[in-house]
Structure 1
Amino acid sequence: MPDVVVVNDRAFPGGGASKVALQSAIGLARRGHRVTVFAAMGPAAPDLTAAGIDLHLLGQSDLASGGRLRMAAQGLWNSKAAEQLGSVLERMRRGRTIVHIHSWSKALSASVFAAAGRSGHAVIATLHDYGFVCPNAALHDFPTGTACSRTPMSLGCLAADCDARARAHKLWRVARQISLSHVAGASRLLAAAVCVTDYSRRIMQPFVSDRLEMVVVPNPIDVADLGPAAPARSGHFTYVGRFSREKGVLIAAEAAQRAGVPLVLVGDGELRNDVARIAPSATITGWLPAAKVCEAIRASRAVVVPSLWRETQGMVVPEALSAGVPVIAATATAPAAAIEPGVTGLLFENGDAGALAHLFSRLAANDRLVADLGEAAYRNYWQTPATMDRHLDGLEALYERVLSERSKTHRSEARSA
């Protein structure tokens, strides 16, 4: 049974990537693996200690806080992280240790890839976003609100003002990408890269080395089987997420207003006033606890996911499907790839509020269609649910295969010598 060193920016579940990293670490520890969590930021989640996990925290801060120049330098190359990770890895078992890197761009930097590579242990990374290939981590042109069609780090990419912030920030992100790809050599040193969906794998595959194996291990979805909801009895549609342009919240608001259907928006963000102006009759709940979000989804006629950007997965879709609630999603996104059009949900052309309004009207007028979509959504999801056990099974199978292949390679090299 291999030892596992989980490398992640945070030792607490501050975001989806950290939540998956730490939940999987706890699950692996409970299965008998010796697990170490190496993180820049604390405090550590109590569940980690309770699971018997060894902790190594750097006591550093998120790059968004602190002095701008100091944090910018840390984001490009965190020397402290590289040095201390190297020390931790020196003590791990040779030939039976996996270094699994999750989030690294918030504090740790690309230096952890270099340190992991120098250790001689097998290194795996989960690609929670598109940051492994794209400077802005989204393969998205934020000023235009459209998916980026440029080859990452090409001349066209470097010249493009595509960042969500200022041009100077794009240049800093390019420097960070150079640190990852050329200084740390991340693509060369990985034994495998884990993608959270086949959709994200297909998007990133053309931009990585042919020798890098891309393996799909779906994230676990923390949902309980409460039985199917009754979406056909509901009269309103629901949006769950941040109120930002790339999430498509303005499209949802405009479409609901055009169709004259009730819309409940669970979340908040910088576009709250715009949403209220566009759809004055919509209900805005603000952010809700997880249990209340589940209730809001189950009370819906359908959940709308109008993302303009691709995303790598999107947790709202499986949460809705598991409840037996249909999903309306924008095309050319990971959420769209997670539904069966006409079976578990409906698709509309990305960015087209009129097309979304048409689907709102269609579902508002057809109880039978809503019921059929919801029943299929519930049935199909629970045939192969994305449980933690399935996630851990996928990780363990990958770990053992990587270690076995490395062992065979080392034996072959020894005989040749």
Structure 2
Amino acid sequence: MRLGAFVMGAGQHFAGWRHPEAEASSTEQLAYYKRLAQTAERGKFDLLFLADVLAVGASDVAYNAHNLRPDPLMLLSALSAVTERIGLAATVSTTYNDPFHVARKFATLDHLSGGRAAWNVVTSNNGDEAFNFSKTEHLQHGLRYERCRDFVEVVKGLWDSWEDGAVLADAATGIYADSAKVHELRHDTKHYQVRGPLNVSRPPQGHPVIIQAGSSEAGKRLAAETAEVIFTAWQTLQQAQAFYQEVKGLVAEYGRSPDELAIMPGVFPIIGRTEQEAEEKAEQLKKLIQPEAGVALLSFLISFDLSPYPVDGPLPELPDLAEVNGTKSRFQLLKELAERESLTIRGLYERVAGGRGHRQIMGTPAQIADQLEEWYREGGADGFNIMPPYLPGGLEEFVDLVIPELQQRGLVRMQYEGATLRHHLGLKRPSNRFAR
């Protein structure tokens, strides 16, 4: 079972920063992230996964601690020096970056960490990001994915621009690099014109691991073609199984094996030493949500302003999916959840304030392990991204209480066997296109 420790601010729950055990004032300090990374490594997680957004939400700036986000690549570079085996994944948008910069940064992180870097590819679902990058409006969903596919192709090409063994550093002959093994990419398409080569040699992993976060039709196609891990969100085992089977089937259309793609849904765990304690923790978190904050969060997640509507009334009539320019899959998931359970606006934001559409599981350590094992064994997931409600305590609880249960069942490693993230995930090192 693959495991990622998903880290966002002082915890995944929207009001988790208010929890008495959260360290909301520490989320811009290296010591805080060092503690989290070393805790996840102690639990033998495959990777530490840092979320990112490139804008501050104007509607919720007063109460959203997630608006403060230190640069994930800078954090992971520092954490590479204080960890040894755990993978290091950063979210970086293809809509508001250039391929050369992204290729260089992740190649550098892979070298610094000895082959532990991963790139979570996103196209940005927050329209406010456009205004921070000299744009007057957010690119349309289809165009974002079209550009993203091209962007990833450029990045992979730049990682290949230096073949293995190209750097000789032969002081005796005076030859530093074998020029026959250094290549210009000469990528020239509608979206990107990039000559290359990269000014960093080929990463230790060949390519840092590619993660893709998105479950729309365009997202599934992109993942099947380019990704090695999918970060997705589902509420029921049946939904997860359908997605799993569909995407694993799509992979074959691109000449790949289903084993080359690991599907890892997000999971929001509330852990108690007893069922009653877990239920009390869930109620405590629910009471921390301010109504204004809950409505703002839900409005963002479904790309529709709910502030004019009564909080204890039903969702209003929402636009068609085709009109949504945010995260289409999340919009559809939350709309179906509200309809299936007849939830009011308040009821819906209380449900999603923790996992933001990801599955919430609750109970004793054994019950948490049961729920993870069911999805894993029943074809709903290859593993999970664990999203603790508050940090650092929520991650420490998972490592101290749930990991031993999973290890006892043979579902999680007792010790790391390899040194690279590709080894942890069972992924092959990609061949170099120029060497081929």
After TM superposition, the score normalised by the length of structure 2 is 0.34
